[in-house]
Structure 1
Amino acid sequence: MANEGIGTLLFNGIPSEDDNLGSADAIVIALKTRTIEKSEAVAQSLAALDWLRKSNAEKIYIKYCSTFDSTREGNIGPVVDAVIQSLGVEFTLLCPSLPANGRTVKDGHLYVNGIPLHESSMKDHPLTPMWDSDLRNLMGAQSRYKSYVLTANDLKRSKDEILAKVMEHGKGQEHFYIIPDFEDSLQGEKIIDTFLGLPVLTGGSGLMEPLGKALLSRKCTISQTPKSKTDGAAIILAGSCSVATLAQIDNFLVCNRGPSLKLDPIKVLEGKMGSDDVIEFIRENQGRDILVYSSEPIEKVRKAQAAGAGEISDKLEALMSIAAEEALLHGYGRIIVAGGETSGAVTKRLGFTSYRIGESVAPGVPVMVPEERPDIRLILKSGNFGKETFFAKALEMTGGNING
């Protein structure tokens, strides 16, 4: 949305009545509903929906991971079911595609760089292992309602013909879902052109670019994007075990971009490594770009999980959040985080409630400026996003004086 010139404000949780929306045209409410208990995920989502409706939001977008969090017990189905029931909407889209990052849908199947989801590296995700690539099966295990595919050939038809086919699918049903093929930008634009009138859409971030373009055409002015650069060194916090993040860590280490501290999961669990080590590392390297990471290949992760998966995860996330807090106390102006769960822990610890969204370091990964600390730059990255030089690019984009 921000890339298309739409003023975008992100809230870490449901805003309060006192929060200032300023000139924002798009409001994002970030909820940690990916892996929490199902009923709580639904309750939080409906509370966010209620706030947005009271704030006169004209369109609702439910954003989830481009790999669909595809466990049978996943929360996407229950949340979207509850939202369309609440709004009285007959159908909506399931559109996880993000072609810029190799996530595409063809004939109802989700692919990662051309490989079916359940055959890709995502099959070994420690929290949400992927068991199928057919979105009808993935949603069918979670939702009360049926899903139907809209193929690439279907999308070549006129808008009226497409909508007629959709309604034929849904005949006699209270609610249903449509899964459109989405492999390139032209298909994304056709999807938005056809379904822009729906009050609620769902998907990954790939559909947001054509949606942003369509919404921008209704605006009179383009919003100013916050500057990316600021003063202060950078701390990189990597908790993701994805292939992409591991490559980014290797690039940082091989290119000797700064000091690094590896958090050993077993040592952390046994109490042989902890917050004192993290704090000492930051103090010793004050003013230098640094990396703190716990990321490991999946084989090592499984061994560590055998010793206590939940406890290890909680302890590592806590140490990452302590590192972020300590870095701010020592003059660090840039915080770069790799991994969704790690990002959640860091933002919760720092206590910032809202952010202006700036330019993107990579597709789906913007520079964020906390409203409470406009001198700080925060970058939160899904583990699988970005090329191997992502950290280097993030450091370059955000480094230097804000007025430079």
Structure 2
Amino acid sequence: MAEMKHLLGCIADDFTGASDAASFLQKAGLQTILLNGVPEQGLGMNEYDAIVIALKTRTEPAGEAVEHTMEAVKWLEQHGAAQYYLKYCSTFDSTKEGNIGPVLDAVLEYLEETYTVLCPSLPVNGRTVKDGHLYVNGVPLDESPMKDHPLTPMWDSRIKHLMEAQSKYKCIELNGEQLKEDNIDAYLLKEKEGQKHFYVIPDYETEEDAKRIVSLFGNKKVLSGGSGILQYLARGNKKGIVLAGSCSQATLTQIETYKKAGHAAYKIYPEKLVSGEVTVEEILEFVSLHPDDYVLVYSSDTAEQVRESQKLGKEQVAQMIENVISDLAGQLRDKGYKHIVVAGGETSGAVTKRLGYYLFEIGKSVAPGVPVMTPLEDRTMRLVLKSGNFGQPDFFERAVQMIRGE
């Protein structure tokens, strides 16, 4: 995935579609606000990760739909949006003279994005795409009850035909096997036939397909579809870190359990810290190599090893470890990391002081006595701070899943 997006702006073509999108974003851990139309004046949006604007463009004349959508895009741009999602119905509601094509054409051109995906699928509601065709509960769209819709009768199940009837640009279909290829971008740029803009229609039948689509295209400035990929896009926009300074047996077990689950981990050795061999910059570089993981950074060790390291200077070593971990937390927060899990009372205190958080809203508990907390100074953040002896062996995994909304 690309670097963390500072704000996700979603524009839906009707209100129920907007609430649908907002629910997926909130569930995935993004602090989300829903606006009914474009506000007439500026609003403070610093405490939100995602803004969803509900329009009434589904059945508007194409020109009006483009105008209203561009108003929303420009408003979101002024309020810090770094990524845009155009939300339409999972049955691609649109006639040959419809709005999805003209609207997306205008957005791609304005934001200077070469291409975007068309992902109407929502498998949980029976909407899937296979070989470029959209199915409703296993029935081709144009054979489903949607063929008789009074406003947007579905005349074809092939999304390419539906879109190219409206848009100025061509569509490229990607089947399931093609999605497994690593060099997709090069293939698409070769296939676009010299066009300045184009659309990609990936097959999308399962949740695993959604994850793959987001891994391939989640860094695009513009994406479009139903609400299916939103939860995975939201998770990709949420980065986090796990920090451990406690040397309790419970924390040591949790560290080993987390590592065995396949997560990347960086151990801080006191002697390397004292000698200057280990720096915050080096740890940041390691973390950056694993952008999709909640990397574990820990100084925790057995009692015997702790006694050995204390020979370097008990107070000096303890202070250096706290400084490195708390500084790491602060720098990662500034880089867009919104989830921080900390093990150890002293370590937790050092981290919260460095972050400048003093007031917290208490959420659900990961384990008895260990809640997810939202600092009132920045409601986009989620913290889990635990005493060294608290929590189950798989505590770190549970904490990550809870704050990611899984």
Q: TM-score, normalised by structure 2?
A: 0.53
1:75 to 99, 114, 123: 99
Residue by residue over 1:138-165, the C-alpha shift from the partner in whole angstroms, topping out at 9 and shown as x without a partner, is 001110110010110011122xx21121
Residue by residue over 1:304-363, the C-alpha shift from the partner in whole angstroms, topping out at 9 and shown as x without a partner, is xxxxxxxxxxxxxxxxxxxxxxxxxxxxxxxxxxxxxxxxxxxxxxxxxxxxxxxxxxxx
* Mapped partners of 1:110, 1:103: distance in 2: 7
* Mapped partners of 1:70, 1:12: distance in 2: 22
Helix, strand or coil: the match of 1:220? Answer: strand
1:153 to 162, 168, 177: 177
2:226 to 204, 210, 228: 204
Residue by residue over 1:140-197, the C-alpha shift from the partner in whole angstroms, topping out at 9 and shown as x without a partner, is 1110110010110011122xx2112111111411111100001111111111111122
Question: Structure 1 19/55 Cα, relative in aligned 2: closer, same or farther at 3 Å?
Answer: closer
**Structure 2 matches for 1:355-370, cutoff 5 A?**
none
Following superposition, the deviation at residue 20 of structure 1 comes to 3.8
Following superposition, the deviation at residue 22 of structure 1 comes to 5.2
2:70 to 46, 54, 57: 46
Following TM superposition, where does structure 1 have runs of at least 4 consecutive aligned residues deviating by more than 6 angstroms?
none
2:15 equivalent in structure 1: none
**Structure 2 matches for 1:23-102, cutoff 5 A?**
23-102=47-126
- 1:186 paired with 2:208, answer yes
Instruction: Give, as a single letter, the amino acid of the residue that structure 1 aligns with 2:79.
Output: S
Q: Decide whether the 8 Å contact of 2:45 with 2:79 is kept in 1.
A: no
2:130 to 81, 106, 112: 106
Following superposition, the deviation at residue 89 of structure 1 comes to 1.3
Q: Output the aligned Cα RMSD.
A: 1.3
Instruction: Give, as a single letter, the amino acid of the residue that structure 2 aligns with 1:167.
Output: L
* Mapped partners of 2:204, 2:222: distance in 1: 18
2:39 equivalent in structure 1: 15
Percent identical among aligned pairs is 51
1:395 equivalent in structure 2: none
Q: Decide whether the 8 Å contact of 1:123 with 1:130 is kept in 2.
A: yes
Q: Decide whether the 8 Å contact of 2:119 with 2:226 is kept in 1.
A: yes
* Mapped partners of 2:89, 2:147: distance in 1: 14
Instruction: Give, as a single letter, the amino acid of the residue that structure 1 aligns with 2:189.
Output: M
Question: Structure 1 18/140 Cα, relative in aligned 2: closer, same or farther at 3 Å?
Answer: closer
* Mapped partners of 2:46, 2:114: distance in 1: 33
* Mapped partners of 1:6, 1:219: distance in 2: 12
Helix, strand or coil: the match of 1:94? Answer: strand
- 1:124 paired with 2:148, answer yes
2:236 equivalent in structure 1: 214
Following superposition, the deviation at residue 128 of structure 1 comes to 0.8
**Structure 2 matches for 1:243-282, cutoff 5 A?**
none
Larger Rg: 2
Q: Decide whether the 8 Å contact of 1:70 with 1:131 is kept in 2.
A: no
- 1:176 paired with 2:198, answer yes
Q: Decide whether the 8 Å contact of 1:98 with 1:206 is kept in 2.
A: yes
Helix, strand or coil: the match of 2:338? Answer: coil
Runs of at least 5 residues in structure 1 that lack an aligned partner in the other structure:
223-404
* Mapped partners of 1:65, 1:145: distance in 2: 21
Instruction: Give, as a single letter, the amino acid of the residue that structure 2 aligns with 1:178.
Output: V
Instruction: Give, as a single letter, the amino acid of the residue that structure 2 aligns with 1:179.
Output: I
Instruction: Give, as a single letter, the amino acid of the residue that structure 1 aligns with 2:135.
Output: Y
1:142 to 143, 151, 166: 166
Q: Decide whether the 8 Å contact of 1:70 with 1:132 is kept in 2.
A: no
* Mapped partners of 1:203, 1:168: distance in 2: 24
2:217 to 176, 191, 195: 195
Following superposition, the deviation at residue 18 of structure 1 comes to 4.5
Instruction: Give, as a single letter, the amino acid of the residue that structure 2 aligns with 1:103.
Output: R
* Mapped partners of 1:43, 1:77: distance in 2: 13
Instruction: Give, as a single letter, the amino acid of the residue that structure 1 aligns with 2:338.
Output: C
Helix, strand or coil: the match of 1:46? Answer: helix
